[in-house]
Amino acid sequence: MRESTITFDSVDGLKIQTYLWEPEGEPRAVVQLQHGLGEHAGRYRRFGEALTDAGFVVYAPDARGSGRTAGGAYGHWGRDGWPGWVEDLNQLNRRIRADRRGLPVALIGHSMGSFASQQYLLNHSAEVDAVVLIGTTEVSGLADMLSGPADLSAFNAGFEHRTGFEWLTRDEAEVDKYCADPECGFETQPFEGIQTLKRAADPDELAKIRADLPVLIVSGDADPIADRGAAPELVGRRYRDAGLTDVEVVIYPEARHELLNETNRDEVTERILGFLARVLG
């Protein structure tokens, strides 16, 4: 895997730092990879290597308020707040389609990145050829919770309390890496404009998504935002009710929030790669 960095401009003046991970040969397709809250794109190198080994070129931004983009001001979301986070997906997608004309584009979002992806699709489903939502949930009730400062450690209720972040994965080494990373686990400012996320649960809005868009949803039934798998199943059902004809939902028993860092991560990765191979050719 060859790694470099590009930047793109947000509409409110931020420079979004983005990893570019390229395969050795000509790419077969593009993956636009959006990380979650309280982390950064550098944590996805292992997944990036699996994608590039399979022939994909990967664009993985450090979202606003995160990683290198934050410049140390972690959890500060810029002038446009949550709508800006969603619009950043659109700005990067435009860059990708200009850079990689003719290649299909898959959007993969984890956690907060999956929520942004759900909202992005309402107006931009024509710009992507496949979608994977990892560690996602139904978002209508989530917007109210995220209107205030987000304390991620609150999700650890019901798990062992060795570090307070056991809800992320059963793999203790991965939890320790997260806790030792100064760019992870930070408290955040409230998301201005987060109420717009509720649009992604509105049937009239979901009806705007093109019916032939393939969607894969993967979650663990021990993920505290998944309601034992019921919440991602609801997301899938809403897409089907909106007319989408190719929607898969896969729930992994006992798996927690970060499926790409879970003890069964190889199984999850292979499932995602198989989906991309099927729908992108």
What are the structure tokens assigned to 249, written together?
């939902």
Q: Are 83 and 116 in contact (CB under 8 A)?
A: no
The strand pairing partners of 2, in sequence order, are 22
CATH code: domain of residue 271:
3.40.50.1820
Specify whether the CB–CB gap between 16 and 9 falls below 8 A.
Answer: yes
Question: Facing residues of 17 across strands?
Answer: 7
pTM: 0.97
Distance CA 23, CA 280 (A): 17
DSSP result, 178-207: HHH-TTSS------TTGGGGGGGG-HHHHT
Query: Number of folded domains in the chain?
Result: 1
Angle subtended by helix axes 112-124 and 81-99, to nearest 10? 70
Q: Domain of 208?
A: 2-280
Q: Could you tell me if residue 81 is left (phi over 0), alpha (psi between -120 and 50 degrees) or otherwise beta?
A: left
Q: What are phi and psi of 259, to 5 degrees?
A: -60, -30
Which distant-in-sequence residues (6+ apart) come within 8 Å of 116 by Cβ?
34, 85, 86, 89, 109
The dihedral over CA atoms of 29, 183, 179, 168, expressed in degrees to the nearest 10, equals: -40
**C-alpha–C-alpha distance, residues 97 and 127, integer Å:** 8
Q: What is the pLDDT along the chain (281 residues), one digit of tens a residue?
A: 999 999 999 999 999 999 999 999 999 999 999 999 999 999 999 999 999 999 999 999 999 999 999 999 999 999 999 999 999 999 999 999 999 999 999 999 999 999 999 999 999 999 999 999 999 999 998 888 787 766 667 799 889 999 999 999 999 999 999 999 999 999 888 889 999 999 999 999 999 999 999 999 999 999 999 999 999 999 999 999 999 999 999 999 999 999 999 999 999 999 999 999 999 98
